[in-house]
Structure 1
Amino acid sequence: MSSQFKTGTSTVDTERILLGSVVFAVLFLQLLVYPGVDMLVTALGAPVVLRGSTWFLAAELGASVLFVWVWGLISDARRVRVPLLRLGALLAAASYGGLAIIPQVVIVPFSGALAIRAIQGAATIGVLSLAMTMLMDLPGGHGRNMGAAGIAIGSGTALGAPTGGLLYGQGPFVPLATAAMLAVVIALLSTQLVDRIPASGNQSRQTSKTIITIVNRIRETPELLIPYAFGFIDRLSAGVFALAGTLYFRTVFNLSPAATGAMLFLFFGPFALFQYPFGSLSDRLGRAFPIVFGSIGYGFSVIAVGLAPTVTIVGVAMVTVGVVGALMSPATMALVTDLASEADRGVAMAGFNATGSIGFLTGVILAGTVAGATGFTTVFVLAGAVEVTLAAIAAPAVFRLASPRTEKQS
C-alpha cells in the first residue's frame, strides 16, 4: 500500500511538472513579443506607435475574454481537456507563424495583422486556462497546485521578456517565429498529459451547460466574485506594465529592447521564485493575509515604479513588485479552487481568466489613453491606487471568506 501511495504521489508530481511546463511555455511565448512591441507594430504598418501598440495588445486580450468561456464551457460539458489543449496549441502555432511569415511575403494591412493577433489570443488563452484547470483537478493541495501554476507563470514571463528583447535584435518578426515553434512543443508535450476530471453524479448538469447556465453557476457561488475582482485589478496593473512599462523604460530611460526585457525580469524573477512557497504557505495560514496585504504592498510598489527618478530605484521597485505579487497571486487562484465545485472547475477558472483578461485589456487601454494625455507617472499612480483601494474595501469580506481553513481536497 505504501508503494502504491508513493507511485500515485510520483505520478501526480510528474503531472504537476508537465502542466506547469505548459503554463510556463504559454507565458514565455506570449512575453516574447512585449519588449519590442513598438518595433513590431511599426514593421506591421501601424501608422502611430502608441495607438498601434495599444490596439495590438487589445486585439489579443479582447479575443481572450471572448473565447476563454468557450474553452471552459466545452471542457466541462464534454469532460475532456487534453484534446482541447492540443487544439489550442496548434492554432497558436499557426497564428504566430502566420503573423511572422505572411507580412514578409505579401502586403497585409494593419487591420489584418490585428485579426491574426486576435486568433493568437483566442488560442493561447485556451491552452493557459485548460492547463490551469487541469492543475485544479490534481490532488495534493490547491495552494500547492496553484503555486505551481504561479511559479510557471512567473518563470515564463521572467524569461520570456528578456529573451524577447534579445530576439528583437535579430529582427522584428523573430519573436513571433520563436513563439510559433514553442506552441508546437506544447502540442507535443500534451501527448504526455491525461485528464483527471473528477466524476460527477449529475451528468445532465455536465452536458447541458449554456452561457446562461454559466451565469447561474456564478450566482450560486457569488463568493467567486471576490477573487475575480482581485484577479481583475492585479491583471489591470499587469496590462499597465505591458504597454506603459515597456514604453516607459524605452522612452523615459532610453533603454534598449534587451535592457527593457532585463528590467521586466527584475519583476518577473522574484515573482516566479516565490510563487510556490507562498502558495504552500497559504494552504497552512489561509488565503486572506496573502491576498489583502499582498495587494496593498503591490499597489504601493506599482506607485513607486512610476515615481522613481532613476533606473536603479525603478529596478528596486520592480523587485518589490515581484515579491509582493508572488505573495498574493497563488492565494487568489487557490481561493477560486476552494470555492468552485468539482463539476464547474473549468468554468470557474475560465471566469477568473476572463476577468483577468478584461483587467489586462483595461490596463492596456488605460495606459495608452492616460500616458498619451498626462504621462507615464499618472498611469502607475492610478493603477497602484486602484489596487490599494480594492484591498482596503474588500478586506473584511476576504477575511470572512478566506480565513485559515481546511481546503476542499480533490
Structure 2
Amino acid sequence: MTSSGRDRPILATAVFAVLLAQVLLYPGVPDLVSAVGATTTLDASMWFLAAEFAAFVVCAGLWGAASDSFGKRGPFIAAGALGGAVGYFALALLPEAFSLSFGAVLAIRVFQGAMTIGAFSLAMTMLMDLEGGHGKNMGAAGIAIGLGTAVGAPLGGQLYGVGPLVPLYVAGVLLLCVATLTPLLSDRAPSTAERRVREALATLADQPTLGVPYVFGFIDRFTAGFFALVGTVYFQSEAGFGLDAGTTGMMLGLFFAPFALLQYPFGVLSDRVGRTVPIVVGSALYGLAVVGVGLAPTVTTAGAAMVVVGVIGALMAPATMALVTDLATEEGRGTAMAGFNIFGSLGFLAGIVIGGTVADEMGFFAAFVVAGALETAIALVSIPAFFKFDLGERGEGAVFGR
C-alpha cells in the first residue's frame, strides 16, 4: 500500500472523530445548556452553538496560515485535538465545581472551538496534500464528515439518556484519540518556513476564484447549523412533534446517514463529470428540500424529507471541497482550506443565529421558509458567477469536466 493509501483512512478517521465529538452534543443541547447553568432553552442553545462556530471563524485561518508557514500539519493537528479535549472536559467539570456563570461557560466553549478547528481543518488539508485525485480525497473527507454526523446524532441522543454531561466526556475522549493518530502520518506540507503568516493569509486575496467554492460551502453548512438548533428544538417542541432526545437524534440521522454514505461515490463522480453539475444541481434543489421538512405534516414525512436533504447535500459537498483543491496553489492549501472552513463556519453560525432568531420571533414554519429562501437565493445569485469566473488551466478540467 502506498503512503497516500495508508494515510487517507487515518486522516478520514481523524475527521470522523472530530465531527462525531461535535455532533454528539446536538440532539440534547437544550438539556445540556440547562445542566451547565442556562435559564432559557432556545436562546441559550443558540449562543452555546454559536460560540463554537464564532471561534471556528476567527481561528481557522490562523491554524491554516501557521501550518503553511512552518511547512508542518501533524503537530498542529495534535495540539488542536489536545486543546479541544481539554475544552470538552472543562465544560463537563468546571461549571458545577466553580458555580460558573453561563457567560464563563461560553468562554470555555470559545476556547474549545478555537482548538478543535485546528484539528479539523488541518486534517482536511492533509487530505488535500495526498495524491490520487482531488475528488477521491475530498470524497474521503466528505464521507468522514457525513459518518461523524450520521453516527453522532443518534448516539448523542442515547448518551443524553444516561446523563446531560455524558456527551461532553465522550467528545473529550474522541479528541484525545485524534491526537494519538498524528504520529502515524507522513507530513507532506510544502516546506515554506520562510513564509510569514501574513503572506499565507494573503493567499485568499490573491485567488478570488476561491470565492466560488467558499460561497457554496457557506450554503451547505447553513442548513447544518439550522438543523442543529432549530431542527432539534422543533422536533422536540409541542409546535413540532414532541420527540425526546433519542428520537430527535434518529431524525437528524435520517439527514446525516445518506449525507455520509453518498459522499465518496459522489466525490468520485465529480472527478469524472466535473464540479459544475453536482454543485449547481444540488444548490438549486437544496433550499426547496429544507422547506419541505417544515411543511411535513407527520414524523414519517418529515423523516423522508430529511433523507432528501441528506442526498442533495452529499451531491454538493465533496465537489465543493474538491473545487477548493483544484483552485488552490500547492503552497497555499492550508490557507485555502482554512478559508473554506471559515465560510462554512460562517454558514453554520448564520444558520444558528438567523434560524434561531426567526423561530423565536415568528415561529418555526417561518424559520424553515427563511432558511430555504436564503439557500435558494444565494444559489441563484452565485450560479451565474460560477460560469463567469476565469478558473484557469489548473482547475478548468475538473470544474467543467474532462
Please report the TM-score for the alignment, with normalisation by the length of structure 1: 0.93
1:270 aligned to which of 258, 269, 283 = 258
Is 2:133–2:271's contact at 8 Å kept on the other side of the alignment? yes
The answer for the alignment partner of 1:3 in structure 2 is none
**In the alignment, is residue 67 of structure 1 matched against residue 59 of structure 2?**
yes
Counterpart residue type for residue 71 of structure 1: W
The answer for the alignment partner of 1:371 in structure 2 is 359
**In the alignment, is residue 292 of structure 1 matched against residue 280 of structure 2?**
yes
1:125-174 superposed Cα distances (whole Å, 9 cap, x missing partner)? 11110000000000000011000000000000000011110000111110
Q: Distance in 1 between matches of 2:90 and 2:383?
A: 46
**In the alignment, is residue 347 of structure 1 matched against residue 339 of structure 2?**
no
**In the alignment, is residue 242 of structure 1 matched against residue 228 of structure 2?**
yes
Q: Distance in 2 between matches of 1:55 and 1:253?
A: 24
| 5+ residue gaps, structure 1 | 1-6
| Dislocated runs of 4+, deviation >4 Å | 400-404
The answer for the alignment partner of 1:253 in structure 2 is 241
Q: Distance in 2 between matches of 1:189 and 1:378?
A: 44
The answer for the alignment partner of 1:216 in structure 2 is 202
Is 1:292–1:392's contact at 8 Å kept on the other side of the alignment? no
| 5+ residue gaps, structure 2 | none
The answer for the alignment partner of 2:349 in structure 1 is 361
Is 2:26–2:228's contact at 8 Å kept on the other side of the alignment? yes
**In the alignment, is residue 17 of structure 1 matched against residue 17 of structure 2?**
no
Flag the 1:316–1:406 CA change in 2: closer, same or farther, 3 A. closer
Q: Distance in 2 between matches of 1:254 and 1:214?
A: 49
Number of residues of Structure 1 aligned to a counterpart in Structure 2: 393
Q: Distance in 2 between matches of 1:263 and 1:400?
A: 39
The answer for the alignment partner of 1:191 in structure 2 is 183
Counterpart residue type for residue 245 of structure 1: G
Structure 1 residue matching 2:27: 3-state secondary structure = helix
Is 1:46–1:52's contact at 8 Å kept on the other side of the alignment? yes
Root mean square deviation, CA, Å? 1.5
Distance apart, 1:404 and its partner CA: 6.8
Counterpart residue type for residue 63 of structure 2: W
Is 1:64–1:121's contact at 8 Å kept on the other side of the alignment? yes
Q: How many percent identity over aligned positions?
A: 54
Q: Distance in 2 between matches of 1:70 and 1:379?
A: 33
Counterpart residue type for residue 374 of structure 1: M
Distance apart, 1:215 and its partner CA: 5.4
Q: Distance in 2 between matches of 1:395 and 1:51?
A: 34
1:345-375 superposed Cα distances (whole Å, 9 cap, x missing partner)? 0000000001111111111111221000111
The answer for the alignment partner of 1:143 in structure 2 is 135
Please report the TM-score for the alignment, with normalisation by the length of structure 2: 0.95
Q: Distance in 2 between matches of 1:43 and 1:398?
A: 46
**In the alignment, is residue 177 of structure 1 matched against residue 166 of structure 2?**
no
Is 1:285–1:404's contact at 8 Å kept on the other side of the alignment? no
Is 2:204–2:210's contact at 8 Å kept on the other side of the alignment? yes
Deviates more, 1:392-401 or 1:39-48: 392-401
Is 1:274–1:326's contact at 8 Å kept on the other side of the alignment? yes
2:34 aligned to which of 37, 42, 47 = 42
The answer for the alignment partner of 2:123 in structure 1 is 131
Q: Distance in 1 between matches of 2:299 and 2:398?
A: 44
1:240-298 superposed Cα distances (whole Å, 9 cap, x missing partner)? 11100000101110111000000000000000000000000000100001001111122
Distance apart, 1:400 and its partner CA: 5.0
Is 2:283–2:379's contact at 8 Å kept on the other side of the alignment? yes
Is 1:129–1:349's contact at 8 Å kept on the other side of the alignment? yes
Q: Distance in 2 between matches of 1:181 and 1:221?
A: 38
The answer for the alignment partner of 1:31 in structure 2 is 23
